[in-house]
Amino acid sequence: MRSKKVTKRIITGDPIYHSRLVNKLINKIMKDGKKSIAQSLVYKALDSVKTESKGDPLVIFERAMANVSPKMEVKPRRVGGASYQVPIEVRGDRKEALALRWIIGGAKGKSNNQFHSFDQKLAQELIDASNNTGSAVKKKEDMQKVANANRAFAHFRW
């Protein structure tokens, strides 16, 4: 064995919603250690979600996470001289990480002429993801299509 196993750090809930997922979103948005700026962006986005959809923003966020979380992904596996894309199931931690990454990426990719600030873009992406639309859901569906197309190589799983 090369080195000892890394112990997983437990992330606590955020100060307002007491949700571990919201805290992960804040940490993912944070740049250069400026957590207060990331918190204000996320809380503004969740307030916008509350006013636009007239529902609990935490429920909408969790529904968006569930809709964006992938079930299968592909990993390259070398067999002989060829490299195959082998479909595998996605673990729980990786599901969350990919879903958060895609939601944030979808918010960053929104056009500037429609929305002006990042919190508005993030709020719209969360609403879209909870309604099973938007770029994050499209990313998940694309990954699922690739995994389904490569089902023939599933027996190469390790």
Q: Are 77 and 70 in contact (CB under 8 A)?
A: no
Residue 30 token pair = 């944070």
- Structural domain harbouring 26: 20-156
Predicted structure pTM score: 0.87
**pLDDT tens profile 93-103:** 899 999 999 99
33-66 core/surface letters (b: 16 or more CB in 10 A; e: else): eeeeebbebbbbbbebbeeebeeebbebbebbbe
Q: Considering the domain boundaries, does residue 67 fall inside one?
A: yes
- Residue 12 is assigned to a structural domain of this protein: no
Residues 57-73 have a mean pLDDT of 92
More confident residue, 151 or 105: 105
> What's the total number of domains in the chain?
1
pLDDT tens column, 92-130: 889 999 999 999 999 988 877 666 889 999 999 999 999
In a domain, 7, yes or no: no
Q: What is the CATH number of the domain that holds 128?
A: 1.10.455.10
**Domain membership flag for residue 3:** no
Mean pLDDT to the nearest integer, 39-46 = 94
